[in-house]
Amino acid sequence: MGATSAVAERRRRGELVSAALATATALGVRPTCAALALAPATFYRYRNGPTQAPASERCPPARALALTERQTVLELLNSARFCDDAPRQIWATLLDEGHYYCSVSTMYRILHAEHAVHERRDQLRHPTYTKPELLATAPNQVWSWDITKLLGPAKWTYFYLYVILDIFSRYVVGWMVAPRESATLAQQLIAATCAKQLIAKGQLTVHADRGSSMKSKLVAQLLADLGVTKTHSRPYVSDDNPFSESQFRTMKYRPEFPERFGSIQHSRAFCHPFFEWYNNDHHHSGIALHTAHSVHYGLAQAIQLARQQTLLVAHSVHRERFVNKPPAPPLLPGAVWINPPKLSGGPPDSAPVLH
């Protein structure tokens, strides 16, 4: 009701002003406005149109940061050291180090002006890291290794599970549970695993992420001495080490995986049967539902032929159940990649399969 009356009032006033504009020249402004009960100010406002004073240039406040100071703060906020931290954390860290650049709110204003309040990591000038492209066409050509934490009996207590996995066969060639993450322990596990698998110089590439143990000089020197090539995932790229991540996920989603381990002996007692199952009994979808053991030790081809024979017998007994063609088991991959190259003219991960 109020909105309708306001519209009607504006329409009535417009009609009065139109009438006043038409007659004011002959009768004069004041007599015309008096006769129409219209304020002269309204008449002049409609006749002359809206006026707007030119915008005055606002001087920056005396307490504002200089452009060089502002740029210094922005570079600090986007630096590799602070890109993942909130402004409050950065402000407190710098203050503890004896540096004060500006207030927390000023840091937020600077980030807001740069549209960087939510995410600053992508604005860093990262060095260019080569994407690892690794190909395995047989076991013991490419290994992937990683370390994961296992929750201990109390808060903030952990045990560390080291796992080395062959990407072609998915076979866990070496593992260890330790009370700490250590380059020395990693070196010992890799050396023992290479010896157990009879790795020759120039045969193997070992891939890992960029953790401190993986990048350590001890591990690098060992691999160099063994004639093993090493590669690393790119920073902030989550899928450069997919096989190790998949193995950890399989383990932690097992129904018997405990919420916490009561002791390091408990964690080892869990891991031993798990890896026996993972290597010998678990049928991996990535290797045509074979076990890792059968692929790693060259038994998969015989098993593949036996599977094919079983399916052919089933087809001969019940042809009506197979509409299109005789059934066949999934094909074994002939090549396994970490980051297959993108080739023009075909799918990037095209690879031969083993029949």
Average pLDDT for the chain: 87
Q: How confident is the model at residue 248 (pLDDT cuts 50, 70, 90)?
A: very high
Q: 204: exposed, middle or buried (C-beta count within 10 Å: 0-12, 13-18, 19+)?
A: buried
CATH of the domain at 146: 3.30.420.10
Average pLDDT over residues 110-130: 69
- Give the tens place of pLDDT for each residue, 304-316: 999 999 999 988 8
Choice among 46-60, 214-228, 319-333 with the minimum mean pLDDT:
46-60
Between CA 262 and CA 252 the distance in angstroms is 16
- Is the per-residue pLDDT at 74 higher than 70? yes
Average pLDDT over residues 104-127: 74
Average pLDDT over residues 325-342: 91
Among the candidates 58, 90, 123, a domain finishes at: 123
Between CA 242 and CA 338 the distance in angstroms is 8
Between CA 169 and CA 247 the distance in angstroms is 12
Question: Phi and psi of 159, rounded to 5°?
Answer: -115, 155
- Residues 137, 114, single domain; the answer is no
Residue 190, domain member (yes or no): yes
Between CA 206 and CA 298 the distance in angstroms is 21
> Can you give the pLDDT at residue 82?
86
- Residues 255, 303, single domain; the answer is yes
Residue 31, domain member (yes or no): yes
Residue 237, domain member (yes or no): yes
Residue 88, domain member (yes or no): yes
Between CA 281 and CA 233 the distance in angstroms is 30
Reduced to 3 states (helix: H, G, I; strand: E, B; else coil), residue 164 is strand
Expressed as residue numbers, the domain containing 259 is 132-355
- Residues 100, 228, single domain; the answer is no
- Residues 117, 144, single domain; the answer is no
Match 């990407």 to its residue by tokens. Answer: 167
> Can you give the pLDDT at residue 4?
66
Q: How many CB atoms lie within 10 A of CB 156?
A: 6
Average pLDDT over residues 198-224: 94
Distances (CA, A) of 72 to 69, 80, 102, 195: 5, 14, 11, 53
- Residues 118, 180, single domain; the answer is no
> Can you give the pLDDT at residue 307?
92
Pair of tokens at residue 174: 């070496």
Q: How confident is the model at residue 124 (pLDDT cuts 50, 70, 90)?
A: low
Q: 29 and 43 in contact (C-beta within 8 Å)? A: yes
Q: 278 and 169 in contact (C-beta within 8 Å)? A: no
Average pLDDT over residues 21-36: 79
- Residues 72, 203, single domain; the answer is no
Average pLDDT over residues 322-328: 86
- Residues 177, 219, single domain; the answer is yes
Q: Which long-range contacts (CB under 8 A, 24 or more apart) does 155-160 make?
A: 159/261, 159/264, 159/267
Number of domains comprising the chain: 3
Q: How many CB atoms lie within 10 A of CB 214?
A: 21
Q: In 3-state terms, the chain is what percent helix, strand and coil (to 5)?
A: 45, 15, 40
Distances (CA, A) of 216 to 112, 143, 183: 39, 18, 6
Residue 54, domain member (yes or no): no
Nearest-10 crossing angle of helices 2-27, 40-48: 90
- Residues 208, 76, single domain; the answer is no
Among the candidates 123, 146, 163, a domain finishes at: 123
59: DSSP letter: P
Average pLDDT over residues 216-244: 90
- Residues 26, 114, single domain; the answer is no
Between CA 116 and CA 20 the distance in angstroms is 56
- Residues 319, 229, single domain; the answer is yes
Q: 174 and 189 in contact (C-beta within 8 Å)? A: yes
Residue 55, domain member (yes or no): no
Pair of tokens at residue 76: 């600090």
More confident residue, 45 or 66: 66
Residue type, 125: R
- Residues 141, 37, single domain; the answer is no
Is pTM beyond 0.75? Reply is: no
- Residues 109, 145, single domain; the answer is no
Residue 60, domain member (yes or no): no
Residue 9, domain member (yes or no): no
Average pLDDT over residues 282-298: 96
